[in-house]
């Protein structure tokens, strides 16, 4: 931002000096540049901004999603959000998905990055394998994990039985299902955190470690005094990315549990779809959408402020 | 001390290998399951025995329409990715070069729209598309997915353009080239490296999209891979072999791309994540 400010100032003075020679056509031509962002602006206005505003409007109505008309009901949908037990479950699930995957992904991602951050044979291959699932559609990964979790002949149950345990119906309970959704999401996307931390580690100059070693520091204190503080930007990136991604979780839930048993493993995103298309309460679903957007926006702003502040202090 | 160090290294290698195995298990199990008939009750860990059994792939292709879905995905992804790159680069140029307050507000609004989760606008977006006649069409989903990926594209292009010196453009302008000429002849050719990043990053997102496609594409003739797998799987939940075969077929294109462009993939994903 500072750069572009100086840039403009320089160009402005350049404009002033050029005007006599370049003629009056010079300035309008510069202004014309702005039309280049009109296509992007038009798309965002039509398919993001307009739906967002329209969604707020619909959230004050009792629209069913297909009738031509609807009535204004004021804040009724929002009051319903606060008193609806199912929505409360769904909202808590969403937080569990977001926080659970975020914590696990940071621990595992950083661990993997540290283990990979030294020259060794097969390093590129290991990195590529661990990263691979990030690219596969979560719907496909979810489908395959569903196979693994089968009661009869399921790969996981076969291991459990081989170790002397009992077969489990993994997706039959709410708690179990929620935990499995967190686990599957974590395993699929841990490669992303790993890559972010690897890049962070590689950006730390080795001379810091050498200097600290000369001063007698070793192992744990090197990690705590040099690695952790200098990884601050990587922490910020990875945490924000995982939290926001977790708050939007949709695909894995759809294939692994379909939101069941009952509605007990839905996230806000999957529940919005159900409320709109299955329960035909479009107005109520719009209110959930507004709530989800508000929560994610506040989270992003607070997190960015907090993490950037820490980055400055570090 | 030295023994401790050795043990630590051994543990970390063990951790890496364990994790790599965990990541490969789903692919292995999908393969063994897909290659066995439904009547084969052996463990998923066991490789198939006897003759090569490919019926599950036949079912996935004939009943699940997986090949059709791959074609649909190729159409949607290629058109949408080209548009994301082109419209994003066009938009980023004035935003990176002219820091007027209007442009700063425009940039802020574009980046702010990253925070809108797709599902939060499902109701108004779906009803808008319904009115426009865009449900179950290529152009409907393409417009939605392009809009979704534009902010990231604009951001990456703008960051890159700021690092390119303005001298060339100014020289062209002095020679009398207009805005469009400067952009298409001078600027666009310089954007190749960042275009690779944007294309891979947004291309993967678009290829894998489920949450919008599942509502916007409900008929088999336009349905892309993710919703096709989702619906095939819910119909075939008793025939897991076919579901596995469909999954493997559907992920083949992206795995092939990863195999050949691995470096670009990782670099691209990283560039996107860091913003």
pLDDT digits (tens, 9 = 90+) for B183-218: 888 888 889 888 988 998 899 999 999 999 999 999
> Tell me, what's the pLDDT at B216?
94
CA distance B230 to chain A (A): 7
Distance CA B78, CA A24 (A): 43
Q: Which of A201, A231, A226 is nearest to A212 (CA)?
A: A226
Residue A154 resides in a domain = yes
> Tell me, what's the pLDDT at B115?
83
Is the model's pLDDT at B1 over the cut of 70? no
Measured between beta carbons, which residues in chain B are less than 8 angstroms from residue A250? 119, 210-211
Phi-psi region of B239 (alpha: psi -120 to 50; beta: other; left: phi over 0): beta
CB contact under 8 A, A130 and B254: no
Helix, strand, or coil (residue A96): helix
Same-domain check for residues A8 and A134: no
**Burial call A177-207: b when 16+ CB within 10 Å, e when fewer:** bbebbbebbbbbbbbbbbbbbbbbbeebeee
Same-domain check for residues A101 and A12: no
CA distance B66 to chain A (A): 13
Among chain A residues, the shortest Cα distance to B38 is held by: A153
Same-domain check for residues A25 and A81: no
Distance CA A34, CA B92 (A): 10
Same-domain check for residues A121 and A171: yes
For B56-273, CATH number out of 1.10.10.10, 1.10.3720.10, 3.60.40.10, 3.40.50.300 equals 1.10.3720.10
Interface A-B: count of C-beta contacts within 8 A: 286
> Tell me, what's the pLDDT at A311?
58
Residue A108 resides in a domain = yes
Same-domain check for residues A6 and A132: no
> Tell me, what's the pLDDT at A8?
42
Q: Tokens standing for A188? A: 């699929």
Dihedral sign (CA A247, A251, A254, A256): negative
CATH number, domain with residue A233? 1.10.3720.10
Same-domain check for residues A24 and A168: no
Cis? peptide before B261, omega within 30° of 0: no
Bridge partner list, A61: A72
Q: What does the DSSP 8-state code read for residue B48? A: P
CA distance A296 to chain B (A): 7
What is the tally of structural domains in chain A?
A: 2
Are residues B228 and B69 in contact, defined by beta-carbon separation less than 8 angstroms?
yes
pLDDT tens for the 314 residues of chain A, in order: 333 443 444 344 344 433 333 334 444 445 667 888 899 999 999 999 999 999 999 999 988 888 888 888 889 899 999 999 999 999 999 999 999 999 999 999 999 999 998 888 888 889 889 999 999 999 999 999 998 998 877 888 888 888 888 888 888 899 999 999 999 999 999 999 999 999 888 888 888 888 888 888 777 888 888 888 888 888 888 898 899 889 999 999 999 998 888 899 999 999 999 999 888 889 999 999 999 999 999 998 898 888 776 655 54
Q: What is the pLDDT of residues A26-77, one digit of tens each?
A: 444 456 678 888 999 999 999 999 999 999 999 999 888 888 888 888 898 9
> Tell me, what's the pLDDT at B273?
63
Q: Which of A30, A131, A296 sits opposite B117 (nearest CB)?
A: A296
Measured between beta carbons, which residues in chain B are less than 8 angstroms from residue A191? 23
CB contact under 8 A, B254 and A136: yes
Are residues A3 and B162 in contact, defined by beta-carbon separation less than 8 angstroms?
yes
Are residues B172 and B190 in contact, defined by beta-carbon separation less than 8 angstroms?
no
> Tell me, what's the pLDDT at A144?
92
Same-domain check for residues A21 and A165: no
pTM value > 0.95: no
Structural domain boundaries, residue A97: 73-313
Residue A54 resides in a domain = no
Residue A47 resides in a domain = no
> Tell me, what's the pLDDT at A39?
93
Best residue in A70, A81, A144, A196 for a mutation probing chain B (most B CBs within 10 Å) = A144
In the block, residue with structure tokens 């596969």: A136
Same-domain check for residues A19 and A107: no
> Tell me, what's the pLDDT at A4?
40
Rounded average pLDDT over B168-190? 85
Same-domain check for residues A115 and A208: yes
> Tell me, what's the pLDDT at A310?
65
Residue A44 resides in a domain = no
> Tell me, what's the pLDDT at B153?
93
Same-domain check for residues A260 and A306: yes
How is chain B split into domains, by residue range?
56-273
Q: Tokens standing for A8? A: 């403009």
Between helices B225-235 and B240-273, what is the axis angle to 10°?
Answer: 150
> Tell me, what's the pLDDT at A312?
59
Dihedral sign (CA A135, A238, A110, A147): negative
Is the model's pLDDT at B121 over the cut of 50? yes
Measured between beta carbons, which residues in chain B are less than 8 angstroms from residue A54? 124, 128
Measured between beta carbons, which residues in chain A are less than 8 angstroms from residue B211? 248, 250-251, 269
CB contact under 8 A, A155 and B208: no
Residue A101 resides in a domain = yes
Measured between beta carbons, which residues in chain A are less than 8 angstroms from residue B246? 143
> Tell me, what's the pLDDT at B60?
85
Same-domain check for residues A2 and A92: no
Same-domain check for residues A77 and A225: yes
Rounded average pLDDT over B235-254? 86
CB contact under 8 A, A4 and B162: yes
Q: What share of chain B has pLDDT > 90, as a percent?
A: 37
CA distance A175 to chain B (A): 22
């Amino acid at each position: 931002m500072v750069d572009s400010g100086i840039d403009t100032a320089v160009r402005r003075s350049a404009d002033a000096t050029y005007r006599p020679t370049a003629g009056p056509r010079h300035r309008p031509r510069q202004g014309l540049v702005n039309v280049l962002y009109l296509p992007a602006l038009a798309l965002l206005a039509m398919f993001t901004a307009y739906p967002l505003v329209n969604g707020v409007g619909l959230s004050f109505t009792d629209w069913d999603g297909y009738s031509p008309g609807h009535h204004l009901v004021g804040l009724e949908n929002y009051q319903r959000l606060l008193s609806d037990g199912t929505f409360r479950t769904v909202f808590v699930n969403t937080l569990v998905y977001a926080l659970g995957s975020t914590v696990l992904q940071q621990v595992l991602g950083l661990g993997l990055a540290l283990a990979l951050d030294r020259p060794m044979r097969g390093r590129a291959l290991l990195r590529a394998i661990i990263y691979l699932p990030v690219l596969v559609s979560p719907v496909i990964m979810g489908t395959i994990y569903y196979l693994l979790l089968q009661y009869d002949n399921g790969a996981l149950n076969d291991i459990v039985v081989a170790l002397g345990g009992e077969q489990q119906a993994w997706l039959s309970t709410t708690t179990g299902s929620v935990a499995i959704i967190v686990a599957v999401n974590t395993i699929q996307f841990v490669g992303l955190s790993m890559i972010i931390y690897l890049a962070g580690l590689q950006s730390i100059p080795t001379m810091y470690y050498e200097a600290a070693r000369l001063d007698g520091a070793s192992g744990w204190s090197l990690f705590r005094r040099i690695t952790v503080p200098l990884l601050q930007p990587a922490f910020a990136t990875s945490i924000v990315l995982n939290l926001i991604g977790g708050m939007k979780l949709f695909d894995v839930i759809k294939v692994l549990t379909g939101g069941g048993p009952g509605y007990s493993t839905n996230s806000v995103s999957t529940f919005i779809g159900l409320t709109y298309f299955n329960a035909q309460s479009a107005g109520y679903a719009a209110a959930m959408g507004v709530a989800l957007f508000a929560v994610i926006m506040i989270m992003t702003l607070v997190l960015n402020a907090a993490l950037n502040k820490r980055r400055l202090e570090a | 001390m030295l023994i401790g160090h050795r043990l630590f290294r051994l543990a970390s290698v063990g951790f890496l290998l364990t994790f790599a195995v965990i990541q490969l298990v789903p692919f292995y199990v999908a393969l063994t399951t897909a290659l066995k008939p439904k009547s084969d009750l052996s463990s998923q860990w066991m490789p198939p025995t006897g003759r090569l059994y490919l019926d599950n792939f036949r079912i996935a292709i004939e009943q699940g329409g997986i090949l059709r879905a791959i074609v649909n995905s190729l159409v949607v992804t290629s058109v949408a990715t080209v548009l994301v790159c082109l419209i994003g680069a066009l938009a980023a140029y004035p935003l990176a070069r002219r820091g007027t307050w209007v442009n700063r507000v425009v940039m802020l609004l574009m980046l702010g729209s990253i925070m809108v989760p797709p599902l939060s606008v499902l109701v108004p977006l779906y009803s808008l598309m319904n009115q426009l006649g865009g449900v179950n069409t290529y152009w409907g989903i393409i417009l939605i997915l392009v809009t979704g990926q534009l902010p990231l594209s604009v951001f990456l292009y703008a960051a890159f353009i700021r690092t390119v010196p303005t001298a060339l453009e100014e020289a062209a302008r002095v020679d009398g080239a207009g805005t469009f000429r400067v952009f298409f002849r001078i600027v666009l050719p310089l954007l190749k490296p960042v275009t690779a990043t944007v294309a891979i990053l947004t291309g993967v997102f678009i290829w894998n999209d489920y949450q919008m496609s599942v509502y916007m594409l409900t008929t088999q003739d336009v349905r892309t891979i993710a919703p096709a797998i989702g619906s095939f799987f819910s119909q075939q939940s008793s025939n897991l072999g076919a579901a596995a075969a469909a999954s493997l077929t559907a992920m083949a294109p992206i795995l092939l791309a990863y195999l050949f462009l691995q470096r670009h993939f990782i670099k691209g994903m990283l560039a996107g994540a860091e913003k």
